[in-house]
């Protein structure tokens, strides 16, 4: 009779691992519904609050995103470490990893409470706020900070979905949060009134709901993995902070790339320009969310291959994920860029149509920059995050400086060009070189080939979209939706052979 190791004999109950295809179907479905809800809600919120107030909301959200870097870094680290512990049947270590992360973040939130309150009081010293909105902005920032606390503590609990490859549940939880947030917005705006205070209350309600959902999901997926103070381990905390620290540095750099645009616009060009940028940036933010969604589908299996030290499968899977992500983004970005003027005019109003060139610059380079996102999952899986973190931070600082310089000369277009230039340089020059250095079996030439294919695919879909709107000339939301669907369908069919070949061969 085979005698199992003691650790395996004590194996706790675990939910079965999910399937990537099912995860993809559910997450795409929930994400598209969430995007539709956001796109329909944005014009409503902008009209109710006003462009200036919407710009203030965007600036405060950017500040919260900077503070959420700890949550993202801890969650990524805990997800990786939990996967390694479970795959190697080290369940006591899994208890320590999760409990240490949760209690560590609780302590961090308690310590940060007073600074958060001070930041709320002096919010008008950090961003430009019209005098009549200062009090409401302080209330909004305080409520947003409370919401941030619930989101922060929810982070490690969400790692269970990564460990068991149940990203379908993540999609459902995110959609539920979006629906609750918009429902609260509509209800409070209608009953109490449209202002920054009711916006903040809606944000807090959605975050509390998400925390509850994550608790229930964790109990379902990892019922044998305990969260208890007795499992808190200082050594584990040091390990999390070591890897998570470099992830935090990387996340700071990424936010300097992606989230400083509104702050620069607010300080250099004023709250009205910031509100305009916040409105047209909704499209690029949704594309980033979709790119992150596609990339995240491959993350659990990449971590599992790395944990098993299966390097050939790890490398082949990485190339497949880059190809599929790049082609997917080529369809989305190409369709929007080819019809940007019509989309902004019909969706937000004719006064926004002149901002179409800015919107194109904000989104056009995402084919490449989001297409390589799976490579960052690979870097995390093998733990080689120090150098990318430093490079991202340095170039992110450069993006802020360049954005300020160009904004003074070119307005919103300057801000868009700064992000396009710096982020493209990082992902075209640095990322392929670094991944080929640290990941065995991945050649630089093959990596660059994927980027070229993605760029060519995006240009092809752009031409299809531009031709479609030129022929139809949509003047209503229904005609515009039909144009976008036709362009997406034709573009998708043109790129389908490349995607099918990748699925079959892994190249």
What is the reported pLDDT for 382? Answer: 67
Q: What is the DSSP string of 52-94?
A: HHHHHHHHHHHHHHHHTHHHHHHHHHHHHHHHHHHHTT-HHHH
Q: Are 226 and 271 in a shared domain?
A: no
Expressed as residue numbers, the domain containing 425 is 260-507
502 & 389 share domain: yes
Q: Which residues contact 49 (CB under 8 A, 6 or more apart)?
A: 57, 194, 195, 196, 199
**5 within domain boundaries:** no
> Of 248, 274, 294, at which residue does a domain stop?
248
> Of the candidates 446, 441, 424, which has an alpha carbon nearest to the alpha carbon of residue 370?
424
Please choose, from the candidates 220, 219, 187, the residue with its C-alpha nearest in 3D space to the C-alpha of residue 202: 187
Q: What percent of the chain lies above the pLDDT cut of 70?
A: 78
Stronger pLDDT, 65 or 34, i.e. the higher one: 34
Same domain, 320 and 369: yes
Same-domain pairing of 424 and 445? yes
Residues 6+ apart with CB under 8 A from 39: 282, 286, 347
Pair 289, 194 in one domain = no
Does one domain contain both 183 and 274?
Answer: no
Considering 201, 216, 248, which residue would you say is the last residue of a domain?
A: 248
> How many domains, in total, are found in the chain?
2
Q: Which residue has the higher pLDDT, 34 or 162?
A: 34
What pLDDT digit, counting tens, does each position of 139-181 carry? 888 888 888 888 877 777 777 777 777 777 888 888 898 899 9
Same domain, 265 and 413: yes
Closest CA to 173 of 209, 149, 145, 224: 209
- Residues 295 and 147 reside in one and the same domain: no
Residues 236 and 278 in one domain: no
Same domain, 358 and 497: yes
Q: How much is the pTM?
A: 0.61
pLDDT over 90 (residue 205): yes
Q: Which of 179, 214, 248 is the last residue of a domain?
A: 248
Q: What is the pLDDT of residues 221-252, one digit of tens each?
A: 877 777 777 777 676 666 655 555 555 666 66
Residues 310 and 224 in one domain: no
Asked, for residue 500, whether it belongs to a domain, the answer is yes
Give the Å distances, CA to CA, from 338 to 68, 203, 283, 344, 410: 34, 34, 14, 12, 23
């Amino acid at each position: 009779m085979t005698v199992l190791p003691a650790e395996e004999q004590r194996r706790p109950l675990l939910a079965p691992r999910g399937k990537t295809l099912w995860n993809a179907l559910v997450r795409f479905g929930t994400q598209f519904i969430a995007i539709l809800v956001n796109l329909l809600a944005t014009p409503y919120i902008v009209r109710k609050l006003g462009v200036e107030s919407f710009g203030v909301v965007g600036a405060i959200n950017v500040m919260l995103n900077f503070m959420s870097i700890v949550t993202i870094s801890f969650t990524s680290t805990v997800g990786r470490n939990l996967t390694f512990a479970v795959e190697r049947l080290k369940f006591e270590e899994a208890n320590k990893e999760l409990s240490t992360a949760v209690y560590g973040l609780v302590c961090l939130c308690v310590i940060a409470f007073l600074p958060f309150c001070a930041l709320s009081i002096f919010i008008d010293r950090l961003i430009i706020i019209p005098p009549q909105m200062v009090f409401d902005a302080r209330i909004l920032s305080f409520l947003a900070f409370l919401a941030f606390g619930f989101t922060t503590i929810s982070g490690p609990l969400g790692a269970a979905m990564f460990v068991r490859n149940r990203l379908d549940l993540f999609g459902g939880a995110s959609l539920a949060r979006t629906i609750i947030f918009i429902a609260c917005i509509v209800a409070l705006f209608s009953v109490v009134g449209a202002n920054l205070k009711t916006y903040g209350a809606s944000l807090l309600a959605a975050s509390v709901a998400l925390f509850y959902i994550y608790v229930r999901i964790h109990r379902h997926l990892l019922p044998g993995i305990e969260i208890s103070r007795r499992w808190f381990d200082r050594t584990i905390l040091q390990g999390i902070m070591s890897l998570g620290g470099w992830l935090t540095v990387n996340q700071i750099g990424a936010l300097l790339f992606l989230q400083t645009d509104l702050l620069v616009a607010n300080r250099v060009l004023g709250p009205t320009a910031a509100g305009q940028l916040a409105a047209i940036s909704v499209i690029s933010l949704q594309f980033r969310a979709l790119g992150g969604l596609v990339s995240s589908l491959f993350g659990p299996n990449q971590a599992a291959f790395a944990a098993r030290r299966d390097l050939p499968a790890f490398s082949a899977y990485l190339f497949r994920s880059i190809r599929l992500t790049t082609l997917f983004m080529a369809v989305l970005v190409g369709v929007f860029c080819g019809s940007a003027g019509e989309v902004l005019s019909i969706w937000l109003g004719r006064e926004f149509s002149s901002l179409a060139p800015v919107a194109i610059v904000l989104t056009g380079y995402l084919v490449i920059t989001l297409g390589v996102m799976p490579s960052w999952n690979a870097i995390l899986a093998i733990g080689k995050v120090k150098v990318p973190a430093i490079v991202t931070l340095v170039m992110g600082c450069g993006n802020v400086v360049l954005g300020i310089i160009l904004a003074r000369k070119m307005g919103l277009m300057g801000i868009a060009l700064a992000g396009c230039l710096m982020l493209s340089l990082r992902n075209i020059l640095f990322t392929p070189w670094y991944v080929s250095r640290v990941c065995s079996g991945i050649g630089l030439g093959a990596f660059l080939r994927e980027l070229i294919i993605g760029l060519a695919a995006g240009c092809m879909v752009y031409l299809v979209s531009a031709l479609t709107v030129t022929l139809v000339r949509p003047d209503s939301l229904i005609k515009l939706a039909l144009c976008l669907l036709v362009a997406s369908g034709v573009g998708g069919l043109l790129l389908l052979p490349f995607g099918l070949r990748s699925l079959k061969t892994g190249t």
